[in-house]
Amino acid sequence: MTFADDPHTLTGAYVAHALEDEERAQVEEHLARCDVCAQEVRELAETAARLGLAVATAPRRGMRDDVLRRIATVRQDVPRAEPAPRPRRTPLRARSVSRWALAACVAAAAAFGGTALWQHQQAQDARDQARQTEERAREQSQELAAVLGAPDAKSRSGRFADGASGTVVVSAGRDRAAFIAADLPEPPRGKVYQLWFNDDGSMRAAGLIGPGQSTQAMLMDGPVGRATGMGLTVEPAGGSERPTSEPVALMEFPT
C-alpha cells in the first residue's frame, strides 16, 4: 500500500480485506488504541454490508482489480488521533460523500468476491458431478464384465423384425442380467430404446440404450429377481415408467 506508514489511512483498505498480513496486523494494533479509526471501520463495514445486499447484477470482469488499484492510489483524509478543544472539521456533506464513495467501492469489491466464490463453487460442483458419473460408469463396466464372465452365466440370442439381433446373459448367482444388441437401427427423433424386465407379464424398467450406437452391451438396471424374460421398446426421450409402444423384442431368460 502507498501510505502503509500511517495506519489512519488504511481503514478503507482494511474493511475491503485488501491489506497484506503485516499491514493488517499494524491496523488492528492501531484500532485497539484509536477510537476514531475504530468507529470509522465500524461505519464503513456496516455501510458496505447494506450496499452489498442491494447488489443484484454481476460486476463487470476486472472490477475487483480496478477497485483495489484505486484504493491503493487515492489517499483518505486522516482522522485526528486525539480530540482537540475546537478542531477544524471537514464539512459534514463532504465527509459523508467521501465515506459513501469508499463504502460503495468496498461493497463492489465484496460483490465481486461473492461472484467469484459462486463461480468457483459452480465449477467445483460440475467437477464433482463429472467425477461421480465417471465412477458410476466404471462400476457398471466392472459389474457388466463380472456378469458376462460369471461361472453360472447363461445366454439366449434372437433376431428382431427390423433385422437387429440381441443376446441376453443372466447370472443367477449375481442376480443380474446383461443385454448385447447388434445392428440396432437409430430410434426416431426424440425417442430412445428402453429395456424392461418381464415379471410374469408385468414390465419393470431396466435402463435406456444410448443413441448413436448400433452395437453395444449394457448391464440391465436392477436385480433379476423373479423376472422370466426381458423386452425392448421405443419410448420418449428420458424413458417411461410403463411401456408406451409395442415391443421391438421379447426374449425369455435362459434356464
Q: Return the domain boundaries, the chain.
A: 7-121, 154-252
d(CA 203, CA 153): 23
Rounded to 5 degrees, what are φ and ψ at 81? -70, -35
Q: How do residues 41-64 score in pLDDT, each as one tens digit?
A: 787 776 766 555 554 455 666 666
pLDDT, mean of residues 214-224: 84
* CA-based radius of gyration for the chain: 34
Q: How confident is the model at residue 149 (pLDDT cuts 50, 70, 90)?
A: confident
| Percentage, residues of the chain above pLDDT 70 | 61
Average pLDDT across the chain, whole number: 75
| Percentage, residues of the chain above pLDDT 90 | 23
Q: What is the pLDDT of residue 90?
A: 47
Q: How do residues 75-131 score in pLDDT, each as one tens digit?
A: 655 555 555 555 555 444 444 445 555 666 655 555 555 555 555 566 666 666 667
pLDDT higher at 94 or 181: 181
pLDDT, mean of residues 170-177: 93
pLDDT, mean of residues 223-241: 92
pLDDT higher at 241 or 124: 241
Q: What is the pLDDT of residue 25?
A: 84
